[in-house]
Amino acid sequence: MYDIYLKYHHIPFGAILDRIRTKEHLSQRELASRSGIPYQRINDFIANRRRISPENSLRLEKALGIDFQCFFYQAQTNYDIYMATKQLLELPSPSRSKFRKTLFWDTDYDALNWQHNCEWIIQRVFDYGNETEIKETIRFYGREKVIGVLRSVNDPWNEKIRNINIKKYLKNGIKN
């Protein structure tokens, strides 16, 4: 019945436990009483402050009437694998310490996708960036990529400053 939750790898097991507990109309204290697990530990599981052991997984499954052995332990493992994979696949980004957050005033700096938004970022840096930011952009994306992006920019806004920066940092400028 609840095994459908196992396909949601991005959800921590504590959230799954809380959802099932709520569906069964049980308080955390009632669940603690039924499972023989201390209330504070149940609370820690739900808040994802504590990992679950196979023994506690079996106790919770019995208390909730789940017939899937080590269901919560498996949910925790799935989430761990998801998080490890996500970290390995994280897209590279430039040295963020070389960029001022104010350069990207109209967006969430910490959520910038440096690959997906490369055209916008390159233009922004050449329009408003300082020497350090421009050099880091060229280092990260590569001279050819930066030149290719800047060739396609048709925005007249800040064109004068952009062209000055192109001549200064890309030496020979960009020839169309």
For CA atoms 46, 49, 53, 55, the dihedral sign is: negative
Confidence of residue 113 (pLDDT cuts 50, 70, 90): confident
CB 121 within 8 A of CB 109: no
- pTM of full prediction above 0.75: no
- pLDDT per position as a tens digit, 137-175: 999 999 999 999 999 999 999 999 999 999 999 976 565
Any idea which architecture 3-88 has in CATH?
Answer: Orthogonal Bundle (1.10)
- pLDDT per position as a tens digit, 29-47: 999 999 999 999 999 999 9
In terms of phi and psi (left: phi > 0; alpha: psi -120 to 50; beta: otherwise), the region of 7 is: alpha
The encoded tokens of residue 17 equal: 């436990």
Q: Is 118 exposed, middle or buried (0-12, 13-18, 19+ CB in 10 A)?
A: middle
CATH 1.10.260.40 domain span(s) along the chain: 3-88
Q: How far is CA 50 from CA 3, 29, 32, 127, 135, in A?
A: 22, 17, 15, 48, 44
